[in-house]
Homo-oligomer: A and B are copies of this chain.
């Protein structure tokens, strides 16, 4: 199988460069789901559904979130099916992080 190894982080703040990581997990999806991510199977299923394109991830769109600005920035780095991954996205607060990014960044 092609190389497959990711590290995901969540930090409090607007950009990865300036925000100190609160949490960081490893995630591997081949040959089998694993890593320190609390739900590798669910996370790998989500990533396979979007062919590893983190920007295409969607969460539970129906859930409403209160409009408090307390930003969290997530990153994904490493290799997915042999291709390098470098992804960063900022969410208004932890609720929008959950509803928009789903299981992959639930840790």
> Which residues of chain B come closer than 8 Å to A28, judged between CB atoms?
26, 36
Is B21's CB under 8 angstroms from A7's CB? no
A40-75: CB near B (< 8 Å → 1, else 0) gives 000000000000000000000000000000000000
**In the complex, what distance in Å separates the CA atom of A16 from the CA atom of B86?**
12
Q: By the criterion of a CB under 8 Å from any partner CB, how many residues of chain A are at the interface? A: 26
Q: What residues on B are CB-neighbors of A39 within 8 Å?
A: none
Cβ of A26 and Cβ of B35 under 8 Å apart?
yes
A102 within 8 A of B: no
A4 at the interface (CB under 8 A from B): yes
A24 at the A/B interface (Cβ < 8 Å)?
yes
- Provide 16 A-B residue pairs closer than 8 Å at the C-beta atoms, listed in order of the A residue: A3-B23, A6-B26, A7-B7, A7-B26, A7-B77, A7-B79, A9-B78, A9-B84, A16-B84, A20-B83, A21-B84, A26-B27, A26-B78, A35-B35, A77-B78, A78-B78
